[in-house]
Amino acid sequence: MTQKAIYFALSVVMALTACQDPSLDLTSAKSSEIRVVGSSTVYPFSTKVAQEFKNITGHNVVVEATGSGGGHKLFCSGSGKETPDVTNSSRRQKKSEFELCKKNGVKGIVEVKIGYDGIVLANSLTAPNMDMSLKDIYLAFAKNTPVSDTDCTLRPNPYTTWSEIKPDLPATRIEAYGPPPTSGTRDAFVEIAMEGGAKEIDCLAKLAETDEGAFEVAAHTLREDGLWIDGGENDNALVQTLVNTPSAIGVFGYSFLDQNIDKIKGARIEGIEPEFENIVAGEYKVSRSLYFYLKKDNIDFTPGLKEYALEFTSDQAVGEGGYLAEIGLVPLQGPEREKIRADVEVLKTYSQ
């Protein structure tokens, strides 16, 4: 009995395994959904558009969070059905990535700027309020800092408490949890906050003009003595850490501050609160642009691709009070938005 059952089961299994083969052909024929890859910062906005777009048009959009760098790599692997149609990016496409695209035969790329994202330095509600300048940020987190404003001899960062940098900052230990090096948020934090802070020091500003490489090393290297801690990509865990460790500061995107205002608060930077209105107005300094890149070559065989881009740039999505603003995207201002919308309508390609 048992043995017959086993033989039967085995033969069924074999038969079914064999059946797998014909379905393989289907995969190459079927690729009607829009494929989006890229930045995990843009992911929440991209998925929202994907959902609304699917509801309205019925086109299926699959969004993968691969990170900005991973997204460009996949996007530029070639043109054709099996390659992504769109990549999200929390920074501009690099020259090298653009070259890779060209090399692999991607002919037309449409660059679409969708809005801004603030990067906040937040701490627990129970911790003291912080008000820092970009220079303070640079002095707190750089690996090597100049001896003085005029003498740019670099020495290992001597600061261990905030009050050593500026007396009106709290006398607590510098302890920051930030995004890991693979993150676009980290790139943006380094490029905007650290570099901006470094340029406020006279001799480093001069160095930036004379020796760009040396300046970048000085400005972009974060300290490695344990006071800056590379957190994971999970920002919810980071928020929890901040609540449990009131002395710590966390670096992450504005939307996580917005969703956790009952637990954490953002530090003022150059006296400006990290608030929606301030980021829109461009007064809050540490904010970056978010983009997506569309492969024009794929429009012919990915139905709905252009319409997806139009939905992403429509008033109901990125307009004032649009559904993306509701979930924390800081939208572009009127004239710039209209220009970008017009570019999408004619699918204007860009080059670097």
Partner 1 sequence: MASSSHIQNSEALETETKRESQLAAERAKKHLKSRRAREWRFKLWGRAAVLFALASLIWLLFSLAGTGFTAFQQNFMTLDVELTESVISPDGTRDPQELRGANYRRVLQETMYDLFPEVTERRERRDLFALTSASGATHQIRLMVYNDPSLIGQTVTLTVPTSDNVDQLLKGYIDRDLPESLRKVSNEQIVWIDSLKKRGIIKKKFNTILFTHPDSRDPELAGIAGAVVGSIMIVVIAFLLALPIGVGSALYLDEFAPKNKWTDLIEININNLAAVPSIVFGLLGLAIFINFMGLSRSIPLVGGMVLALRAFPTIVVATRAALRSVGPGIVNGALSLGASHTQSVFQQKLPLAAPGILTGSIIAMAQVLGETAPLLMIGMVAFVTEVPNSVTDPSTALPVQIFLWSDSAERAWSERTAAAIIILLVILILMNGLAIWLRNRLEKRR
* Binds partner 1 (CB under 8 A): choice among 38, 41, 42, 65: 65
**Which residues from 101-140 bind partner 1, rule CB under 8 A?**
125
Unique residue bearing structure tokens 């995969």 = 27
CA gap 347, 202 in Å, rounded = 44
At its nearest, how many Å lie between partner 1 and the CB of residue 186?
16
Q: Is 151 in the site for partner 1 (CB under 8 A)?
A: no
Q: Is 245 in the site for partner 1 (CB under 8 A)?
A: no
- Compare residues 152 and 329 and give the one whose CB is closer to partner 1: 329
Q: Is 61 in the site for partner 1 (CB under 8 A)?
A: yes
Angle at 300 between CA 294 and CA 303, to 5 degrees: 80
Q: Is 60 in the site for partner 1 (CB under 8 A)?
A: yes
Token pair for residue 268?
């003022």
Task: Give the interface size with partner 1 as a residue count (CB under 8 A).
Answer: 59
- Compare residues 57 and 161 and give the one whose CB is closer to partner 1: 57
At its nearest, how many Å lie between partner 1 and the CB of residue 327?
8
* Binds partner 1 (CB under 8 A): choice among 42, 50, 204, 332: 50
Q: Is 6 in the site for partner 1 (CB under 8 A)?
A: yes
Token pair for residue 98?
């653009």
Backbone angles phi, psi at 127, to 5 degrees: -85, 160
Instruction: Judge contact between 233 and 226, C-beta under 8 A.
Output: no
* Binds partner 1 (CB under 8 A): choice among 95, 167, 209, 234: 234
- b/e map of 20-58 (b: 16 or more CB within 10 Å)? eeeeeeeeeeebebbbbbbbbbbbbbbbbbbebbbeeee
* Binds partner 1 (CB under 8 A): choice among 8, 21, 22, 27: 27
Stretch near partner 1 under the rule CB under 8 A, chosen from 196-204, 217-225, 251-259, 290-298? 251-259
Stretch near partner 1 under the rule CB under 8 A, chosen from 44-52, 175-183, 188-196, 213-221? 44-52
Unique residue bearing structure tokens 């900005």 = 68
Q: Is 55 in the site for partner 1 (CB under 8 A)?
A: yes
- SS3 of 294, please? strand
- Residue 150's CB is within 10 A of a number of other CB atoms, namely 10
Q: Is 56 in the site for partner 1 (CB under 8 A)?
A: yes
* Binds partner 1 (CB under 8 A): choice among 39, 41, 42, 48: 48
Instruction: Judge contact between 252 and 123, C-beta under 8 A.
Output: no
Q: Is 13 in the site for partner 1 (CB under 8 A)?
A: yes
Stretch near partner 1 under the rule CB under 8 A, chosen from 18-26, 143-151, 169-177, 243-251? 18-26
Q: Is 321 in the site for partner 1 (CB under 8 A)?
A: yes
CA gap 115, 329 in Å, rounded = 7
Q: Are strands 228-230 and 176-178 parallel, antiparallel or unpaired?
A: parallel
CA gap 136, 139 in Å, rounded = 5
CA gap 239, 266 in Å, rounded = 12
**Which residues from 252-271 bind partner 1, rule CB under 8 A?**
255-256, 258-262
CA gap 239, 148 in Å, rounded = 35
- Of residues 32, 49, 38, 17, the one with CA closest to residue 290: 38
Which residues of the chain form contacts with partner 1 (CB under 8 A)? Answer: 1-3, 6, 10, 13-14, 16-17, 20, 23-24, 26-28, 30-31, 33, 35, 37, 40, 43-44, 46-48, 50-52, 54-58, 60-65, 82, 125, 233-236, 255-256, 258-262, 316, 321, 323, 326-328
